[in-house]
Amino acid sequence: MEKPVLSKCRFFSLCGMGEGEQGYTIIEIVLVLILVGVLSSYVAPRMFDQASYQGLGFHNEVQASLRYAQKVALAQRRFVCVTFSINTLSLTMGSTASCGTPLKHPQDGSNYVVTGATGIQFNLLPSNFYFTPQGEPSMGQSLQVVDSSRTITIEANSGYVH
């Protein structure tokens, strides 16, 4: 009884080879080298430049913190003050616009402070402001983070953060 012969031509490297010979064709090798070169030229700069990712992360965290501050002001009917330094945002709350009690972070209960990584900071130091118990900001402004092309805007009348 004869064994059925399976086709060896499922892959380029087995087609046209003599019995017992295996290897890659020059076309396969060249295509793989071209593909690796194209991928590495796209991926390598992204892997070694963490500043843009950290800048975007700080931008998103500041934006989420400002939205959270407005929601806390509305929910607890308190003033929530937003204080900035060159690379830090901190939130406090109180029954008057002077605030004074540190707002607690919802995840771990520590004081609510957002700090950018080394070299990640605001382009211009934003002005400190507060959200009223109605959720309105004391002033509208725009913030921008270094290494992030996006701008955070706080609307003066509604307090909408976008």
Is pLDDT above 90 for 90?
A: yes
The whole-number pLDDT of residue 29 equals 93
Q: What pairing do the DSSP bridges indicate for beta strands 129-131 and 79-84?
A: antiparallel
Beta strands in 57-157 (DSSP E): 79-84, 88-94, 101-102, 113-115, 129-131, 141-144, 151-154
What are the tens digits of pLDDT across the range 46-83?
777 777 778 888 899 999 999 999 999 999 999 999 99
Task: Let me know if 134 is exposed, middle or buried by CB neighbors in 10 A (0-12, 13-18, 19+).
Answer: exposed
What are the tens digits of pLDDT across the range 135-144?
999 998 888 8
Task: Let me know if 122 is exposed, middle or buried by CB neighbors in 10 A (0-12, 13-18, 19+).
Answer: buried
Q: What share of the chain is helix, strand, coil (3-state, %, to 5)?
A: 30, 20, 45
CATH class of 53-154: alpha beta
Rounded Cα–Cα distance for residues 115 and 79 (Å):
22
The whole-number pLDDT of residue 27 equals 93
